[in-house]
Structure 1
């Protein structure tokens, strides 16, 4: 593939990715991301370790306690920082960069 075809393909991916998208924790917090950035092999074991089994439990879980856990078991200070980095990597993968 020549450089111009590659640029056209990238431009199409960016165009198709515009707007709002919902990204699941599993899609963003891949096994590879978790292994590289946390002490856990995957997102399931991360949430199991902190005692979160459902979306309702996650929503009710105190931010301070979650951030403390993230700080102790990852390369991030807060869950939001971890999720932002994972989302950035997800978008990069989807766009083919």
Structure 2
């Protein structure tokens, strides 16, 4: 990667991060990619991970009302402090990848 490519990637990253400012609804399936799941857990994909952990769509939809189950899941399965930290990292990794930065 030369200096021009790096400059373009940093500019893309800056624009992506500005787009995220104030953005609170994230599509879980789009950020918990196979690469992310494989890097941070012992599983191959999100479906495998959620099935093993007993996580349902209802659990995810009700996170704000009852975060304990997903927070425990994030600590035990992926070594994150809580589910929100896991999702923020997943979104950050996705943003970096989409901006041209190498991953993992």
TM-score norm. by structure 2 comes to 0.68
Q: Does 1:36 align with 2:61?
A: no
Q: CA RMSD in A?
A: 2.6
Relative to structure 1, the CA distance from residue 63 to residue 95 in structure 2 (aligned partners, 3 Å threshold; closer, same or farther) is same
Relative to structure 1, the CA distance from residue 47 to residue 2 in structure 2 (aligned partners, 3 Å threshold; closer, same or farther) is closer
Relative to structure 1, the CA distance from residue 77 to residue 85 in structure 2 (aligned partners, 3 Å threshold; closer, same or farther) is same
Q: Distance in 1 between matches of 2:99 and 2:70?
A: 30
Q: How does 1:68-87 map to 2 (within 5 A)?
A: 68-87=72-91
Whether the 8 Å contact between 2:71 and 2:81 is mirrored in structure 1 is yes
Deviation at 1:7, TM superposition (A): 4.8
**Please, which runs of 5 or more residues in structure 1 have no aligned partner?**
none
Number of equivalent positions: 94
**Please, which runs of 5 or more residues in structure 2 have no aligned partner?**
none
Larger Rg: 1
TM-score norm. by structure 1 comes to 0.72
